Structure 1
Amino acid sequence: MKTEIKQLLESVKNGIMTVDEALLQIKTKPFEDVGYAKVNLHRKARQGVAEVIYGAGKTATQMIGIIETMQRNGQNCILITRLSPTAADEIREKVSLRYFPEAHIGIIGEMPKPDGIGKIVIATGGTSDIPVAEEAALTAEVLGNEVVRLFDVGVAGLHRLLSHLDDIMNASVIIAIAGMEGALASVIGGLACLL
């Protein structure tokens, strides 16, 4: 459930705030207009997931403005996807940012502890699929999920995938990434259904 709204409702239930006070908090400032962007401040309350910055096409200065707006309004962990190394360097001059070049992802703040249900397995057919897999893995982790990475387990050497049957059997979600022929998705899907 949406944590912020649930906390507001609990506060009303426990007499800590009135219904009108809670309603005012929900209505107040759903976004902040910074000129070039309208930063969504209520996305987490409405959708369960906070705003993410899509870095492609934005300048470092624009992203810094969005980051500062998010931080000023209580967002502790910020994910920036499709972030170039040059923009990451510029942002680092103003904000503490961890940059993951392979995934083109920047993360500001502490990663949350996993609070999702179960594990997400991210499997790649080959080594060249790792950048896409890392983007998915880091995004899932920022969203509070536990991730198991299975890299280079393509079906050309099926024994590599079969050595991870426990991970496959215990996964709540499986993301299969395979470039050229894409056979991994069919095989891992078949294994997951059988197990």
Structure 2
Amino acid sequence: MDDVRSGALPVDDAVRQLRRLPFADLGFARVDHHRNLRQGLAEVVYGPGKTPDQCADIVKELLDQPGGPVLLTRASAGQAAVALALNPEGERYDTTLVWRPAPPRPERVVLAAAGTADLPVADECGVVLAAHGLAPQRLNDVGVAGLHRILNEVDSLAEADAVVVVAGMEGALASVVGGLTTAPVVAVPTSAGYGSSLEGVTPLLAMMSSCAAGVTVVGVDNGFGAACAVLRLFKTRDRAASPAGLNDG
């Protein structure tokens, strides 16, 4: 609408774009073009279960319309190759691909991983945050088996606007961090751990039972979901700070 008002976009072109809202039906998928408008978040293509061509075509459809970032997550090597061949302006970060990243935002996010085995989940979270303009400060290998490691980072935790904690085993790092910072804490249990970690169920239940009040918990290995929780927090703050009380997406 701003482009139409300024004359940068002809009315007929605007009408063609609006015809594809709120979604475009590709036959195998109904691509949501309204998500950024409704939520201020990227529309994300989840790779597992889709063919490489389906992934590539959905990404292309999203990129053909103006909007925010476009992501392909949990992508296989084959899916990534085909998606990038059709949409070569993207960047690949292991299993996550990003097109049209957002401009930088000022908020400070700390992303703490308890152990090296938790890094793939933390990396997924970090890429999603970066695609939305955030540059998280990474604290790697700061689990409670060596408590001095996280205590050495109390200044970073105190200055954070949000903290994401990624931990397997018994998931105790979330409670420790929750007791050290005033920032919102989003905890991600991972499936890393010995014997009775039960593929992430033990840290999941521990985090949900945290004695640090207000810790938010997402599902096992869900680095993507943790990033989206942080982004929703910041979008709410954006809306509150807007003179009209509206989220501009």
Taking structure 1 as the reference length, the TM-score comes to: 0.79
Counterpart CA distance in 1 for 2:62 and 2:174 is: 37
Q: Which residue is equivalent to 2:136?
A: 147
Distance change (3 Å), C-alpha of 1:178 and 1:26: same
Q: Deviations over 1:63-114 (max 9, x none)?
A: 111111111112463211111122112323322232222xx211124x3232
Separation in structure 1 between the aligned mates of residue 161 and residue 129 of structure 2, nearest angstrom: 13
Corresponding residue for residue 87 of structure 2: 95
Q: Secondary structure at the match of 2:180?
A: helix
Question: How far apart in 1 are the matches of 2:3 and 2:96?
Answer: 36
1 CA distance for matches of 2:102 and 2:20? 25
Q: Quick one: distance in 1 between partners of 2:129 and 2:68?
A: 16
Partner of 2:96: 105
* Aligned counterpart for 1:137 among listed residues 116, 126, 131: 126
Which one of 156, 168, 176 corresponds to residue 157 of structure 2?
168
Equivalent in the alignment of 2:198: none
Distance 1:181 1:55 in 2: 29
Deviation at residue 16 of structure 1 after TM alignment: 5.7
Cα deviation, residue 11, structure 1: 7.8
Cα RMSD (Å) of the superposition? 2.6
Following the alignment from structure 1 to structure 2, what is the Cα–Cα distance between the partners of residues 187 and 105?
30
Structure 2 residue runs without a partner (length 5+): 184-249
Query: Aligned equivalents of 1:70 and 1:134: distance in 2?
Result: 24
Specify the alignment match of 1:4 in structure 2: none
1:188 counterpart = 2:177: yes
Q: TM-score, normalised to structure 2's length?
A: 0.63
What is residue 5 of structure 1 aligned with on the other side?
A: none
How many residue pairs are counted as aligned between the two chains?
A: 176
- 1:50 matched to 2:35? The reply is no
User: What percentage of aligned pairs have identical amino acids?
Assistant: 37
